[in-house]
Each structure stands twice: as C-alpha cells, then as structure tokens.
Structure 1
Amino acid sequence: MILSVGMSSSLWLSRAGADASHLSESDPAAVAVGYREDAAKVDKAKYSNYSAGQTCANCSLFSGKSTDPWGGCTLFGDKLVAGRGWCASYTNM
C-alpha cells in the first residue's frame, strides 16, 4: 500500500514538474513581451508587428524543431514556450 502511494506521488510530482516548466502567459517576463500560447489570440491592435503565420516554432529565438509542441526560447531561460505561440520579440529565421 505504501509503495502504491509513493509511486502515485512520484508520478504526480513528475507531471507537476513538467507542467511547471511551461511559460505561463501571466509570468511577468511573458506579459512584458505580449506572449500568447496561441498566436491566433494575439491582440493585433496592440501588436501591429504581428503577421499571420508567425509562431514561436518559426522564430529564430526558438530552440526546438519547428514541429515541437513546446521548446526553449532564449528569452525565457528554462521555461518552455508553445510552438504555436507568439510574442513581440518574434524574429524571422
């Protein structure tokens, strides 16, 4: 019984840790650059530099494959950004 609880706790902690590595839209660094997990939800009036088709996955700051759902970004340290996301620091590859 104790082993079962321990295994369940370990699984929960590993999932919680994985989720914690994703950049939240409410993170102060994300807010500063208008990060959105879904580029379709970018406030186009506020971010006029946004163009359709721009996503984190095709940004030069993204450190993953263009097909990765999540990847690193040089702006956010160890936090992962959504491949389908966008922020005002977007730069072409």
Structure 2
Amino acid sequence: MTPSAHRRVFLMTLAASGAALATGAQAQALVDEKDAQAVALGYVAEARRVDARKYPKFAAGQNCTSCALYQGKAGDKAGGCPLFAGRQVAGAGWCSAWAKKA
C-alpha cells in the first residue's frame, strides 16, 4: 500500500472511531446498495456480483472481511466501515475503496 493509501485508511479509521463513539452500542443497520454513498463506491453486498468491467481492479477473493477498513471480525457476517459511518457492511460485500489488510 502506498503512503497516501495508509494515510487515507488512517484518517477514515479515525473518523469512523469518532462516529462509533457517538452512536454507542446501538445496533447498526446494514448499508443499502441503493444508498447514494454505496452507489458512488460501487458497493455490493456480495462480492461475486461486482461488475468486473466497471471495476477492473476487483480480484476474486476481495471482500469486506479482507479489507483494511473493515471493523468486524473475519468470521462476522457484517461489520462497521468508516465509509458508511453508523451502518454495517456485509462481510461478503465489496466496494471500490477496498484496500488489502496489512
């Protein structure tokens, strides 16, 4: 990952941490694929449905649980993501901001 990508991940994680503290222990809703932010990022709840022509950087095996931004555990069906503050993404999902975990 490039230094600017590390910086971007850090800043998004920092922002998400603040949002998580603000929402407390409330149950978080899942991101809707039709949500404006989700559409802008090409988010899909199942990575196997990614349009590889539209997102040529997508590779098999990429999903939210393998993303550096994912805040859930590897086996969780859903977890937090700083890009969708206050909501959860599907562990099997994917978006164009996917970044490999260190």
Query: Which of 51, 55, 58 is the equivalent residue of 1:47?
Result: 55
Deviations 1:49-92 (A, max 9, x none): 10000000110000000110000001000110000000000000
Structure of higher RCO (CA pairs closer than 8 Å, 6+ residues apart)? 2
Deviations 1:24-59 (A, max 9, x none): 000000000000000000000000010000000110
Q: 2:80 corresponds to which residue? A: 72
Q: What 5-or-longer segments of structure 1 have no aligned partner?
A: 1-16
Matches within 5 A, 1:1-40: 21-40=29-48
Amino acid at match of 2:72: G
Amino acid at match of 1:41: R
Q: 1:63 corresponds to which residue? A: 71
Distance 2:83 2:56 in 1: 20
Q: How many residues align?
A: 76
Distance 1:23 1:76 in 2: 7
TM-score under structure 1 length normalisation: 0.78
Q: What 5-or-longer segments of structure 2 have no aligned partner?
A: 1-25
Matched residue of 2:83: which SS?
Answer: coil
